[in-house]
Homo-oligomer: A and B are copies of this chain.
Amino acid sequence: MPLVRIFHPAGHDRSYSSALSKGVHRALVSAFGVPEDDFFQIITEHQAGTGLFGPDEFLGIAHSADLVIVQITCAEGRTADQKRALFSAIAGNFGTDAGVPEADVVINLIETRRENWSFGNGEAQFA
């Protein structure tokens, strides 16, 4: 039940955005055991320097205009190891499939209760 937000820089073609989309989803399936068809994403593009900001460097990691921010709202309960696996898989997929430097992949998870989701028909399918 993740809801994925991807914020990426403007100026790329649609295949880039599609690669990011698929890269996050594949990582969720492999690291979090999310079902293949549990696929809800909102993707927006933003101008570097006005809409999407990162520092030149944080924690010794340099950032460029290629910065992509991913924010995933998901059910609570994954272990720290699963989160590590997710982060690693997303950054790896972004690098391989979309040419994003792994340094420029910033990810945040927001965890919520399972009863906090409706996947249609006005029902709380996991309450």
Contact = CB atoms under 8 A, between A and B. Distances in A.
Interface of A: 1, 3, 7, 14, 17, 21, 35, 37-44, 46, 50-59, 61, 63, 69, 71, 73, 80, 83-84, 87-92, 102-113, 115-125, 127
A22 to B, nearest CB: 10
B87 A124 contact: yes
A108 B91 CA distance: 26
In the complex, the count of this chain's copies comes to 3
Contacts of A87: 118, 122-124
Contacts of A105: 118, 120-122
Contact of A44 (B51, B83, B116): B51
A43 B37 contact: no
